[in-house]
């Protein structure tokens, strides 16, 4: 190190970095979160260097012992992080040199902080994706089981937030599950592109040392080393892709949250959330606020912002590495934390939802939700669809005038709009008949809902098994 600058790169400089600039450009306050991955990568790098003869076996063992001890210091909170040393990498390397002497300085042979940080972030993202996937699986499992239990619980389906046709609560929950299934596929697909190793690209052009990148990749569990050294150190597509996944996932959780907030209101009164997921009011003692879904809905904008930040960060960067890329970590770290916490909250909360079946059923009876069933009934009797549509429209107008639902009208009342209507019309005007009539894959019939839940359960089990 240069005594004038006290930096690992100070040999070319004649004066120390300005104190403000040192603080402004340092990243150790947040990238110390990569310490475990940094040590993991360094151990693999030292192992590979010894295997190709750049380090001796004794040097390798000394380095690995020192790094393992440093890992212990960090885990116990005994490590002294230094801002003048800029980042997690130089802090660990400096401590290693303090512990084992000149051998510690040999660790950086054949690599740069550019490929080192790119490797650390990918290792970190791979670990976090695996943790997030566990919560996503847990949420899907809970949602599928609740849907199966509520396959016959009738509720209104909506378009434009207006009563449209009756569905079941189980069917609605499986619509949520379909969103999460697509998110799950996106997450696993993203992991494939995360799991490519940049180590060995060095600063931008590789190294003249006889390294074996396939050995390093195998030691670190990467699928393969990267193909191009320029791209390896400058690529942050995987971070953008993960944040894109996160934005779509949070959009889905936000849509679910909006419905949960509506359904817990006195105006809907469809469900009850256990008290542990709600809070009260400091002034209104009757209040029970659905804070968990409201907060998830709010955090969606935060993740959207991180996606735009990363896209903007990368949009004008020439090859290869630029200091701009230091700004990738904070939005990425916060996205990881936000996604994990939102999924955990939902995975805990969703299975505990208690449907208010009577309220749901009564709401489905309002709004002429079986009007389409009446039109379909007329078509099956030989009436042209457009004529059937007109007949049902007249029936609904009559119902609005008299305050009667279609199922509450007498046969004579219905026949005034079409002589084709017979006694069997009441088989389709009941909510149960309406739901059961849509007896096809993807339909609302309870047996179809249970079958769909079973298919979802099997698909998730196959995903767990790596099929």
Catalytic residues: 160, 281
Cβ distance 111 to 199 under 8 Å?
yes
Contact 98, 81 (CB under 8 A): no
Q: Which helix (H) or strand (E) holds 154?
A: strand 154-159
- CA-nearest of 257, 252, 261, 255 to 181 is 252
DSSP assignment of 18-87: PHHHHHHH--HHHHGGGHHHHHHHHHHHHHHHHHTTSS-HHHHHHHHHHHHHHHHHHHTT-----GGG-S
What are the backbone angles phi and psi of residue 107, rounded to the nearest 5°? Answer: -60, -35
Under DSSP, the state recorded for 223 is S
Residue 124 and residue 37 in contact, taking contact as beta carbons nearer than 8 Å: yes
Look at residues 17, 34, 28 and name the one whose alpha carbon lies nearest to residue 86. Answer: 28
Handedness of CA 119, 124, 129, 134 (dihedral sign): positive
């Amino acid at each position: 190190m240069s005594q004038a600058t006290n930096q690992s790169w100070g040999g070319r400089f004649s004066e120390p970095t300005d104190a403000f600039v040192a603080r402004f450009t340092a990243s150790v306050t947040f990238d110390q979160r990569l310490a475990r991955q940094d040590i993991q990568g360094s151990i693999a790098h030292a192992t590979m260097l010894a295997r190709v003869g750049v380090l001796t076996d004794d040097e390798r063992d000394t380095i690995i012992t020192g790094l393992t001890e440093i890992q212990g210091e960090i885990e116990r909170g005994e490590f002294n992080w230094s801002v003048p040393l800029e980042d997690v990498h130089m802090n660990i390397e400096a401590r290693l040199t303090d512990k084992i002497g000149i051998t510690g300085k040999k660790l950086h042979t054949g690599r740069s902080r550019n490929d080192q940080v790119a490797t650390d972030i990918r290792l970190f993202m791979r670990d976090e994706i695996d943790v997030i996937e566990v919560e996503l699986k847990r949420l899907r499992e809970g949602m599928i089981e609740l849907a199966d239990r509520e396959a016959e619980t009738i509720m209104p389906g909506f378009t434009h937030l207006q009563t449209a046709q009756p569905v079941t609560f189980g069917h609605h929950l499986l619509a949520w599950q379909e969103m999460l299934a697509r998110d799950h596929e996106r997450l696993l697909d993203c992991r494939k592109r995360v799991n490519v190793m940049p180590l060995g690209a060095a600063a931008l052009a590789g190294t003249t040392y006889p390294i074996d990148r396939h050995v390093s990749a195998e030691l670190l569990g990467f699928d393969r080393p990267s193909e191009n050294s320029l791209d390896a150190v400058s690529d942050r597509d995987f971070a953008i892709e993960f944040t894109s996944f996160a934005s779509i996932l949070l959009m889905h959780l936000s849509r679910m949250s909006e419905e949960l907030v509506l359904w817990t209101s006195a105006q809907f009164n469809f469900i009850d959330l256990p008290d542990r997921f709600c809070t009260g009011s400091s002034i209104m003692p009757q209040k029970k606020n659905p804070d968990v879904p409201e907060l998830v809905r709010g955090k969606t904008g935060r993740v959207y912002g991180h996606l735009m930040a990363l896209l903007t960060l990368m949009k004008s960067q020439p090859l290869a590495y630029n200091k701009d890329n230091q700004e990738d970590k904070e939005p990425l770290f916060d996205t990881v934390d936000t996604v994990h916490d939102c999924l955990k909250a939902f995975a805990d909360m969703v299975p505990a939802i208690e449907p208010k079946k009577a309220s749901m059923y009564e709401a489905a009876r309002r709004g002429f939700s079986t009007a389409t069933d009446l039109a379909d009934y007329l078509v099956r009797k030989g009436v042209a669809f457009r004529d059937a549509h007109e007949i049902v429209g007249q029936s609904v107008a009559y119902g609005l005038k008299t305050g009667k639902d279609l199922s509450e009208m007498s046969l004579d009342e219905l026949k005034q709009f079409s002589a084709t209507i017979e006694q069997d019309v009441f088989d389709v005007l009941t909510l149960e008949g309406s739901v059961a009539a849509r007896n096809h894959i993807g339909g609302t019939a309870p047996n179809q809902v249970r079958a769909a839940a079973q298919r979802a359960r099997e698909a998730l089990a196959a995903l767990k098994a790596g099929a």
